[in-house]
Amino acid sequence: TISITNPDNFDPLDKGIKRLESTDWIIFTSVNGVDSFFHRLFNLGGDIRDLKGVKICAIGPATAERIKEFHIRVDCQPPKYVAESVVEVFKKIDDLRGKRILMPRADIARSYLPEELQKLGADVMEVVAYKTVVASNGDAAILESLKDGVVDIVTFTSSSTVRNFVKIVGEDNLATFKEKVKFASIGPITTKTAEEMDIEVSIKADEYTIPGLTKAIVERVG
């Protein structure tokens, strides 16, 4: 239900890249954030040497693996793949007072993480590295499949997929579809978004990853 596009303006991301020399941490919250950051870094004529002395935090194993593909070591990987876990880890591993943190993220990312890190004294530079938008194709096919009853489970991998699903099917149709399908969620934040839109999530991943979500679905449906 979503597509990834470039930000409306690269200036904030470019500014963050240009001040890497004085940056202490970069926090990557998704694979898309990693890809967008490095693509822009290389386009500006930089390379991985520009990250010398910068520590890297990754949320989730997929994000960490993508960083490693650029031959960059991950210094911090919180045990739980949510922003709250990042805050708890930083409280234990570093005194953030006066530290500069760069966060290349989606345009609709939650404000919780930068706000909490600022409370710990960090100088947080949150920049839009990419945008998530409603997919421009496939809407008719999604609706047709739901109406025909060929879909048994709808999976949500982020809060934006929940919101965009509701936009695609429409609130009038949603009430009908909720009676026909089960909904599966990758993590607690996504589940909360679904519940706020009156969608009951019956399948929840214990590990907040795509493999974790797949495992939860398989265990549920046998």
When pLDDT is averaged across residues 18-47 and rounded to a whole number, the result is 95
Report pLDDT for 137: 58
Report pLDDT for 214: 92
Dihedrals φ, ψ of 93, to 5°? Answer: -105, -15
Under the banding of pLDDT at 50, 70 and 90, the label for residue 70 is very high
When pLDDT is averaged across residues 59-69 and rounded to a whole number, the result is 93
Report pLDDT for 151: 86
Say if residues 211 and 217 touch (Cβ distance below 8 Å): no
Please, which residues have CB within 8 angstroms of residue 194's CB and are 6 or more apart in sequence? 156, 162, 183, 185, 200, 201
When pLDDT is averaged across residues 6-21 and rounded to a whole number, the result is 95
d(Cα 1, Cα 132) in Å, to the nearest integer?
Answer: 10
Alpha carbon 54 to its chain's center: 21
Report pLDDT for 53: 95
* Domains defined along the chain, listed by start: 2-133 (3.40.50.10090), 139-221 (3.40.50.10090)
Q: What Å distances lie between residue 85 and 54, 58, 110, CA to CA?
A: 21, 11, 14
Residues paired with residue 105 on neighbouring β-strands, in sequence order: 128
Give yes or no for residue 202 having a pLDDT over 80: yes
CA torsion angle 109 110 115 118 (round to 10) = -30
d(Cα 213, Cα 142) in Å, to the nearest integer?
Answer: 21
d(Cα 41, Cα 161) in Å, to the nearest integer?
Answer: 28
Provide the mean pLDDT of the chain: 89
d(Cα 168, Cα 174) in Å, to the nearest integer?
Answer: 10
Q: What pLDDT digit, counting tens, does each position of 81-101 carry?
A: 888 899 999 999 889 999 999
Report pLDDT for 138: 57
Q: Which long-range contacts (CB under 8 A, 24 or more apart) does 114-117 make?
A: 116/83, 116/87, 117/87, 117/90
Handedness of CA 51, 53, 57, 63 (dihedral sign): positive
Q: What pLDDT digit, counting tens, does each position of 115-139 carry?
A: 999 999 999 999 999 988 776 655 6
Single-letter amino acid code for the residue at 26: I
Enter the tokens of residue 204: 């929840």
d(Cα 34, Cα 222) in Å, to the nearest integer?
Answer: 35
Give the predicted TM-score (pTM) of the model: 0.72
| Residue scoring higher pLDDT (3 or 195) | 195
Q: What pLDDT digit, counting tens, does each position of 122-181 carry?
A: 999 999 999 887 766 556 777 778 877 788 899 998 888 888 888 888 877 787 888 888
Q: Which long-range contacts (CB under 8 A, 24 or more apart) does 213-221 make?
A: 213/155, 213/157, 213/184, 213/185, 213/186, 216/184, 217/153, 217/155, 217/184, 220/182, 220/184, 221/152, 221/153
Q: How far apart are the first and last CA of the chain?
A: 26
